Amino acid sequence: MISRRNLLKLTGSAVAASALSSCTTASSSVTAATRRRSIGANDRIRIGIIGCGDRGRNAHMKGIYKHVKETNFEIVAVADPWRVARESANGMVKEWFGRDAQQFVSYRDLLTVKDLDAVMIASCDLHHTAQLEAAARMGLHAYCEKPLAVEFPDLVRAVDAVKEAGTVVQIGTQIRSLPSIVGARELFRTGIFGRISRVEECRNAERPYWYHYLKEVRREDVDWKEFLHGLPDRPFRDDIWSGWYGHYEFSRGPIPNLGAHFIDLMSYITGATLPTSCVCLGTHSATWQDEHRFTCPDVIQATWIYPEGFLVSSSNNLANSSGSIRKIYGDKGALDISNWSKPTYDCEGAPRRGEGTIRGKNEVKPVDHPDHFLDWLQCMRSGKTPNASIDAGYRHAVPVIMAMKSFESGRKALYDPVRRKITLA
């Protein structure tokens, strides 16, 4: 009989996923339900950190530590293929909790830690779905960074595993939990903007964000094979390791990485479901052709048609920062969330503005809401659905995967919600 540990080492391949599912689905569902009941008001939640880079340490770890007193948790394990990141994360654990965390190179080993309740996934985009699926099959709650997936079959397997297990999963589209955005959603639901025709984002910058992460890394400190995650082997390069955001095999560039937030906000505020079609074009600007040989497009635009009757557009120019905007246009007014901490609305340009109640430019009234990390921690105890559930993750992942399939092929991507299929026209 295949042991659970050996199965975990195989996670990520289709054969392993099938074997793991057939052997553990039933027991995982029972375990997950038991865990949810067992995390009572006085029980300490035991959390493992998967991915100890900038996001894992400075967002996830610091983000939940703000709530340690009111939510009673501890970080018991950390995993990362880079020794320096692991040790840095462990230093934080030691300072906060007065003892060392268990340290692992691979997430597979972290998942076997005794009495673990939950994991936080802040790894490379390529790794998200395999790690979330494996965690769900072990009955563990999870906080998983966006984009939820880079390939559609991996997305379906991870989502199905979470639903089978019944675990509490929060996707890292944290902007939807801002009181300002919750307020924008409540305002939109009043119908004040009329019929929506277009939702638009231009998120521009003077240079691609992946340059920010470049650093010198020693080969001997890195488990290169673990990082490659089944991709063909190649010589180690520290600008691939540290600048993976800019390399297409590990991340798909700004539409999935930045656009995931926009698509999530659009869906959260408007209630839109999933698009029927998408076209996407992009290129590499001459501004950033250099020795790093980054492969992600830095100038790109994707356009989706939604069955709710409006067009959604997301574009990035990472070679000039001017022209950024984020706006929802209706026939009675428009909601501007370019600054998502202080969204505004007005009726300028709306053909039916005289029929509405909007006068001048107004600030959206915020609505109190727990921050994204606190919401997840609270839901693990209550069993309630977190604000960015696995379904919300699916609703941002499908559109961004459609966009990149269109970009790769030069063809229109179509989504069939009944068969859960992405095809090319």
| Residues 123 and 50: beta-carbon distance below 8 Å | yes
Indicate whether 30 pLDDT > 50: no
Q: Tell me: the pLDDT tens digits for 271-306?
A: 999 999 999 999 999 999 999 999 999 999 999 999
27 — pLDDT class (breaks 50, 70, 90): very low
Helix (H, G, I), strand (E, B) or coil at 405: helix
For position 290, what pLDDT does the model report? Answer: 94
Give the pLDDT mean for 39-61.
93
For position 188, what pLDDT does the model report? Answer: 98
Helix (H, G, I), strand (E, B) or coil at 246: helix
Distances (CA, A) of 302 to 201, 255, 412: 10, 7, 11
Q: Tell me: the pLDDT tens digits for 68-117?
A: 999 999 999 999 999 999 999 999 999 999 999 999 999 999 999 999 99
Whether omega before 417 lies within 30 degrees of 0, making that bond cis, reads no
For position 42, what pLDDT does the model report? Answer: 75
Distances (CA, A) of 53 to 56, 90, 92, 244, 367: 5, 12, 13, 12, 32
Give the pLDDT mean for 156-185.
98
| Tokens found for residue 351 | 């053909």
Helix (H, G, I), strand (E, B) or coil at 154: helix
| Tokens found for residue 327 | 């706006």
Indicate whether 212 pLDDT > 50: yes
Distances (CA, A) of 124 to 130, 131, 150: 11, 11, 11
The amino acid at residue 260 is: A
Q: Tell me: the pLDDT tens digits for 331-365?
A: 999 999 999 999 999 999 999 999 989 999 999 99
For position 12, what pLDDT does the model report? Answer: 37
| Residues 313 and 332: beta-carbon distance below 8 Å | no
Q: Are strands 118-121 and 45-50 parallel, antiparallel or unpaired?
A: parallel
CA distance 329 to 350: 8
Helix (H, G, I), strand (E, B) or coil at 136: helix
Q: Quote the percentage of the chain above a pLDDT of 70.
A: 91
Distances (CA, A) of 308 to 191, 197, 199, 302, 354: 14, 10, 12, 18, 24
Q: Which residues pair with 315 in a beta bridge?
A: 202, 301
For position 40, what pLDDT does the model report? Answer: 73
Q: Where are the alpha helices (DSSP H) in 11-121?
A: 14-38, 54, 62-65, 68-71, 83-97, 107-110
| Tokens found for residue 263 | 């698509």
Residue of 364, 365, 385 lying closest to 375 (CA atoms): 385
CATH topology of domain 176-368+399-424: Dihydrodipicolinate Reductase; domain 2 (3.30.360)
For position 21, what pLDDT does the model report? Answer: 35
Q: Tell me: the pLDDT tens digits for 312-324?
A: 999 999 999 999 9
Q: Where in the chain is the domain with CATH 3.30.360.10?
A: 176-368+399-424
159 — pLDDT class (breaks 50, 70, 90): very high
CA distance 217 to 237: 9
Question: What is the number of H-type helices and E-type strands within the chain?
Answer: 16, 16
Q: Which residues pair with 283 in a beta bridge?
A: 299
* Mean model confidence pLDDT for the chain: 92
Q: Are strands 421-424 and 413-416 parallel, antiparallel or unpaired?
A: antiparallel
Q: Where in the chain is the domain with CATH 3.40.50.720?
A: 4-167
Q: Tell me: the pLDDT tens digits for 134-155?
A: 999 999 999 999 999 999 999 9
CA distance 180 to 178: 5
For position 41, what pLDDT does the model report? Answer: 73
Place of tokens 């003077």: 206
For position 39, what pLDDT does the model report? Answer: 80
3 — pLDDT class (breaks 50, 70, 90): very low
Indicate whether 255 pLDDT > 90: yes
Indicate whether 8 pLDDT > 50: no
| Tokens found for residue 134 | 């494996």
Asked if the 4-167 domain carries CATH number 3.40.50.720, the reply is: yes
pTM (2 d.p.)? 0.91
Length of the chain as a residue count? 425
